[in-house]
Amino acid sequence: MSRRRSLTLTLTLAIAAVTIAYGVSAASAVSTALAAAPASAKPTCTPVESWRRVGVDTFPLPEGGLRSQGIATDGNQWFFSWKFGLERADNTYADTANNPVAIPPELLLNGSNHIGDIDYFKGRLVVPIEDGSAYLRPYLALYDAATLQPISYDAIARDLQVEGVPWVAADAQRGIAYTAEWNNAKQINMFDIEHHFAFRGAIPLQQPISRIQGAKLFEGNLLASVDDNAKTVYRIDLSTGAETKLFSIGKAGELEGIAIRPTTDGALVHVMLMVGTLSDPQNYHGELYHYARTVSCV
């Protein structure tokens, strides 16, 4: 007989004995006390999460081109970015505002030519701007989420982001913007959103990650979209720097931005994949994949 079955039988006999000797109320008290026994005497549960695709929305040109880099949400509407501009859309993805050339003119004249994956922060958008493929001048900027017009921008140290600034994730509670280099990223850099994006330290990664295209804060960690062969979404533990693979889209294309938002179809994570190339505009389009999470007990 196993130790657990032996313990269960012993407790059952003890309750029966108390019932015979002292009545039901006393036995009930014993049962209550036993229920409050140390957890070591009870079966344990190990939560295991799994992810499943629940839908996909397709954006052909021209709207697909305007949604080809980043995606964010305030919980009620969507925000998209492309190389030069920003867009706001409602829950049906209908355009409600558009700034097709959102990079400030002085930055454009200085070589800036790429907006990456964006994020929402207290009525504003946090926007990464770079001069790909030279990657000499990385910027983080704030935009008004209502008008999509720039509020301010600040240069960040190039030695922190040698290969550009491809994405940004905002922590609303701490006022921190997280980002990392696009290729061979060895750390997650932290910048103070409310204080001109002053550098606030770095979180070393346990293993370098290449081709990070987007990330968002989720349950205290980052969920990152990585443009590897499988088109994978990872969790990055911000306390340890450990990376865990969550799921892969498994389709050819370029994986772009990522957003976190519960939707009516049960989805939680939304990831943009650009399929085809601009050299073949009839087949170039965006696909927004929606994934739901299930947590089970084993």
Three-state SS for 67-81 is HCCEEEECCCCEEEE
Burial string for 213-244 (b: 16+ CB within 10 Å, else e) reads bbbbbbeebbbbbbbeeebbbbbbebeebebe
pLDDT score of 43:
61
State residue 187 phi and psi, 5-degree precision.
Answer: -155, 160
d(CA 27, CA 215): 55
Which residues are bridge partners to 191 per DSSP?
Answer: 177, 199
pLDDT score of 42:
58
pLDDT score of 143:
98
d(CA 206, CA 208): 7
Q: Within the chain, which residues score under 50 in pLDDT?
A: 1-37
Closest to 67 (Cα-Cα) out of 226, 254, 209, 227: 254
pLDDT score of 288:
98
Domains and CATH numbers, the chain: 3-41 (no CATH), 47-297 (2.120.10.30)
Written as six digits, the tokens of 5 are 């079955």
pLDDT score of 47:
84
d(CA 288, CA 5): 51
DSSP character string of the chain: --HHHHHHHHHHHHHHHHHHHH-HHHHHHHHHHHHTS-GGGS----EEEEEEEEEEEEEETTTTGGGSSEEEE-SSSEEEE-SS-EEEE-TT--EEEEESS-S-HHHHHTT--EE-B-EEETTEEEEEEE-TTT----EEEEEETTT--EEEEEE--GGG-TT---B-EEETTTTEEEE--SSSEEEEEEEETTTTTEEEEEEEEEEEE--EEEEEEETTEEEEEE-STT-EEEEE-TTT--EEEEEE---SSEEEEEEE---TTS--EEEEEEES-TTSTTT-EEEEEEEEEEEEE-
Longest dimension (CA), the chain: 91
pLDDT score of 38:
52
This prediction has a pTM of: 0.84
Residue 95 and residue 63 in contact, taking contact as beta carbons nearer than 8 Å: yes
pLDDT score of 204:
98
Omega cis (within 30) before 2: no
pLDDT score of 17:
41
